[in-house]
Amino acid sequence: MRILVRGCSSHDALVKAGAEAVRGDLKDANSLRAACAGADAVITTANSVGRAGDDTVESVDRHGNRNLVESADAAGVRRFLFISALGADTQSPMPFLRAKGETEKRIRDSSMDWTILEPNVFMDIWVPAVVGGPAPSGRPVTLVGEGRRPIPSSPGTMLRLIPSPRSIARRPRGRRPPLPRRYLPLKSWYQVSNMVSPRMSKLATHKQGSRDPLELALVGRN
C-alpha cells in the first residue's frame, strides 16, 4: 500500500505497518503523477475542511481533486474511490458541495471504474460552526430553501453509495447495488437555529429554489 503524505504529516505508524510513503500534495500535479504510477486503485478522503493558508476549497477540493483524478486516469489506475458529500452538485450554491459535484463528474467522465461515497453532515460538528457562530452575536444564519428537512446527528448518519455502471454490471445476477443505510433523523437546521436563539426565525434569510438537498448553506456567517 502506498500513501501520499506531506512534509508536515505524521505517518510513521503507517510506515511501520508496511505502507510506502510518497511525498506529494494535491496542489502539485507533478507529485501526483509519481504517486499514481503503477497503482491499481486510488482512495481519497482529502478535503480542505479545518485547513488554513493555501489549503482552500478552490485549491484542494476543486483544483486538487481535479489533479488527482487526471493523474490517476493518465497513470492507468483501474479503480477510484472518492469520499464526496451528500448534496454534491455542480450547481450547488455552496462552494464546497459545488467542488465535490465537479469532482464527481470528472470521475464519471474518466476511463476508470469508480465508487463515490456521499456521507451526510454530522450535526454535532456543524451546529457549533454554522449556528453557534453567528447566532449568539445576533448575526443571521443563511438558510437555503426552508431548512426543515430532518438531518441526523452522530453516530446516526446517512450515506449514499454510488457504484459505477461497470461495478453494477459485474455483480452476480440477481444481486442489487447496496442501498444506503438510514438511521432515525433528529432535528432540522431550522429547529436547531430556533433552539439556539428564539429570535432566529426573524434573523434567518431564506433562499428559495435551491437544488441543494442539505437546505442550509454551511457558510451562514453573514
Domain boundaries, the chain: 2-119+157-184, 122-151+186-222
The strand ranges marked E within 51-134 are 79-83, 113-119
CB neighbourhood size of 184 (10 A): 8
pLDDT band at 166 (very low <50, low <70, confident <90, very high): low
Question: CA-to-CA distance for 115 and 92, rounded, in angstroms?
Answer: 21
Q: Quick one: pLDDT at residue 186?
A: 54
Longest dimension (CA), the chain: 58
Task: Round the average pLDDT of the chain to a whole number and report it.
Answer: 75
Q: What is the pLDDT of residue 209?
A: 43
pLDDT tens by residue, 86-113: 889 999 888 988 999 999 999 999 999 9
pTM of the full structure: 0.67
Over the range 82-114, which residues count as b (16 or more CB within 10 Å of their CB) and which as e? bebbbbbbeebbbbbbbbbbbbbebbeebebbb
Strand partners, 115: 81, 163
Assign domain 2-119+157-184 to its CATH architecture.
Answer: 3-Layer(aba) Sandwich (3.40)
Other C-beta atoms closer than 10 Å to the C-beta of 211 total 14
Please tell me the least confidently modeled range out of 80-94, 96-110, 141-155, 206-220.
206-220
In angstroms, the CA 157 to CA 80 distance is 24
Tell me, what's the pLDDT at 133?
Answer: 67
Query: What one-letter code names the amino acid at 105?
Result: K
Residue 126 backbone dihedrals phi, psi, to 5 degrees: -85, -30
